[in-house]
Amino acid sequence: MPLKLPDRLPAIDLLKNENIFVMDTSRAATQDIRPLRIAILNLMPLKITTETDLIRLLSNTPLQLEISFMKLQSHTPKNTPIEHMMMFYRDFAEMRTEKYDGMIITGAPVEQLEFEDVLYWREITEIFSWARTHVMSTLYICWAAQAGLYYHYGIPKYPLPMKMFGIFPQIPLDPKLPIFRGFDDVFMMPHSRHTEIRREDILSNPDLTLIAESEDSGVSIVMARGGREFYITGHLEYAPNTLDNEYKRDKDIRKDVAPPRNYYRNNNPQNPPMVTWRSHANLFYTNWVNYYVYQETPYNIDDIK
């Protein structure tokens, strides 16, 4: 089954060019199926890029998904046309009475600020709290993972001496978990961050389970509440050229920018990127939708609590 997306969303044409099957709201209305409702709180600066990255991964499930984009009232994005936001996004205040089978909360370029210094901290923590009673399973990505772990469990973040930037091998610590069905013993994950959460803090909290980690990039995936929350420190959703674009942007601004590790062929920035994470990224999102959303959510969505 394809995804049910808002009419005229730019990602539709972009993904159709990649031979990915999506359909708009008008066509989906003719199918007598209850789609799984997925909310995406997109905090990344380039909204359309992130929309496309996430929809590309969600499109591989055989289930029909209805995607709704959420925005903050307390923050106005600078890099996305206001017309796009008005057409495809709704404020949290408009969505708070609704329930969703799944939710994805993205990273944000604010990780070097203290959590409480982020302008929208009050609103986003309200969303974190709301998700616990209105969403069956929530994925927290990168900064959102750090913020969610801090808000829900008091887990601090720590500055890194150098940016964690590149593609790093990750080890599934409990391969029998449904989220890892079909995974190899090692999988790759892109990272792009200036801060970290530490293993000992996760292990000292009995409500948290460290389910994947890396010798190079540290804590990778944390699970809580039996899979109702996943905290992912990297970016499985990244497209092949995302780190390349980020590296070229930053090196034109500063001279101390190192190229992303394990990314370019032969670690040479003159060569094209080598994609090593895409298959496991697709598998992760498919497993999440199937085993932690579809298999767990009640048929009557209002019964989520």
Residue 121 phi/psi, 5-degree rounding, is -60, -45
Q: Which residue has the tokens 């796009």?
A: 84
DSSP H or E run through 231: strand 229-232
In the annotation, is 237 catalytic?
yes
**Which amino acid, one-letter code, is at 203?**
L
The verdict on whether 75 is a catalytic residue reads: no
What DSSP line would sit under 76-117, residue for residue?
Answer: --SSS-HHHHHHHEEEHHHHTT--EEEEEE---TTTTS-GGG
Catalytic residue among 134, 191, 235, 280: 235
* Catalytic pick among 51, 66, 142, 191: 142
> Does the annotation count 296 as an active-site position?
no
Residue 198 · residue 187 · CB < 8 Å: no
C-alpha dihedral sign at 31, 37, 38, 40:
positive
Per-position b or e across 31-49, b if 16+ CB within 10 A of its CB? eeeebbbbbbbbbbeebbb
Identified catalytic residue from 152, 191, 237, 280: 237
What is the residue whose two structure tokens read 């009475």? 97
Contact, 264 vs 272, CB < 8 A? yes
Q: Which of 233, 208, 202, 198 is nearest to 107 (CA)?
A: 233
Residues with catalytic roles: 142, 235, 237
